[in-house]
Structure 1
Amino acid sequence: MRWRVWLATWVLSAGLAGAVEPLSLSLALAGAAASAFTGFLSYPRLYCLFAHCCHQGDGAQVQPVLQENLDKKLFGQHLARKVIVKAVTGFLNNSNPKKPLTLSLHGWTGTGKNFASKILAESLYKEGLNSKYVHQFISTLHFPHLQNLTQYKDQLQMWIRGNVSACARSIFIFDEMDKMHAGLIDAIKPFLDYYDELDGVSYRKAIFLFLSNAGAEKITEVALDFWRKGKKRTDLELRDVETTVSVSVFNNKNSGFWHSSLIDRNLIDYFVPFLPLEFRHVKMCIRAELESRGYVVDEDIVTRVAEEMTFFPKEEKIYSDKGCKTVYTKLDFYYDL
């Protein structure tokens, strides 16, 4: 009601009240309110401060948040951090991309693939994975039965078409690609290709993420070779790994990407390697978990938990075979939660 009081006061102070009938004044007030609300809606950035909107910002908006969260929370993955930040920022800065951004994240379990996709989603939408514009598919949950492959393809196409129609900047995350039935993911190939529109819908501003354990062996081979040659882990470049991973995934019969047209047609923009985690990275995960629970970091407990993890190869024992996957449950043993 405050706006009505303010507007009535303004009218009176302008000396116009005597010339306006009560009904006319009420209509004027109602019209002003409608006009103000329409004006409010005409400024998307203002409106979206109070409502959940499809992302309209550019890379300058997202880059600082994305960079900071990846630096603080994703340990031992200098390649993944660099590629994700540059790819996403560049894509968002392009007002007229030729195709959707498509990233395929590869590495052992516990190395941070899901964590990175969560951080990316949160950098665009404050609700993160819970946003109505972020859609997550888990192969063993959403596409379990081989006999339903045709049905899954139709449903997947309809789901993506409907959600991109509602929000051009939709994010689609496909987890457990190594467990997906071969041929299913090719159903979305038209949406990832270089088309302006398909049946009146443009998919060029959407983001697709694929998460997979496939290719992890090749990533480890490259990382281990670097270590044995005395090279720094951080000297490893994307070019040292990416081609090897893409070929490995394409030829892996146990991968959802087996002989996939998405790879054959070069529709995946980056194969992002997640390196196996070393002892020091596991300790970083433990410290971060302790801090998130509000505990003072006890370095003795940090070391003891890290030493309970198993490492490979058998001789060198450099890399954690579960990454940071079981760190959180192991901490429960030391604290009465």
Structure 2
Amino acid sequence: MIRYILISFTIFLLTINSLHAQKNYEWSSVKNGEGFNSFLLRNHISPATDLESFKELNKGRFTKNGNLIAGKRYKIPLRILTHQVSILGEDHQTVKQMDTTMNGAVIYLVAGHGGPDPGAVGTIAGHKITEDEYAYDIVLRMGKELLSHGAKVHFIIQDPDDGIRDEKYLKPDKDELCYPSQRIPRKHTPRLRQRAAAINILARNEKKSTYQRLIILHLDSRGKGNSTDVYFYHHAISRKGKNLALALQQKMKDKYDEFQPNRGYEGTIGTRKLYMLQTTTPPSVFIELGNINNHNDQIRFLKSENRQALAMWLSEGIQENYLLFKKK
């Protein structure tokens, strides 16, 4: 039985590691009579959210009782930008910008199906699982990761109630909307035409950006015995789309080699005459995350840790593709 690596994602730890690795701080001296609250507020730091990270950054520089020392200099984390993105849900809507490596990039994220169309439907342990809910959760996680590196992200399919969720079984609903707030048609072609039009309108408004990319996320539906790796499609004549697909495939391969060296990775890249690939203007990649009916593939996206890992790996692939693009 294939084992899938579980990766936890902790913004706090990443922030601390970033501060140490990049020397992302300045020095400030404590005035007489200042306690933690007054000192941190004077330096534009929130005592409620950043006190522990401040203490970690300045470990060994306090009194025996853990207090500040008047006149002593302390490391102050440089101001971390945050974005409020309500679509991510209450627990995830504050996104800390870790760096600016993706400044200038515009990313469009589309979770497959939605609204009256759940997409592929599977069952496990008596639970009904639907393609649109799991694709949407991973899209949100990808968006949060990309935002944290400075990218501008457009979520084309949006659910007013479902932010990032950690449940194993994501409850299906039908209230997803297409950007900006359009009801999603039941019929297949009008549904695709609607989201393609939304993307193309946004792309025209983002014409100042030289790097615009579209990611379309789906789950496949095959027989229960058919296990598949994550695989990718691009438009046959899109060189930029192909390059992005190659970057994403290589990232998946590297991660599997790192965490499951004996497993191997066989995710493929191909071309297909898919409506979304043919009618949208940004270079695009259509991704299939696995077979919703296969037990091993189900493990890939049922566990929130695995959904987070997929989101991070795909986001890293996009980031590396962007950095390579900037060098040219």
Higher helix proportion (structure 1 or 2): 1
* Structure with greater strand share of residues: 2
Bigger Rg, structure 1 or 2: 1
Compute the TM-score of the two structures, normalised by the length of structure 2: 0.32
Q: TM-score, normalised by structure 1?
A: 0.31
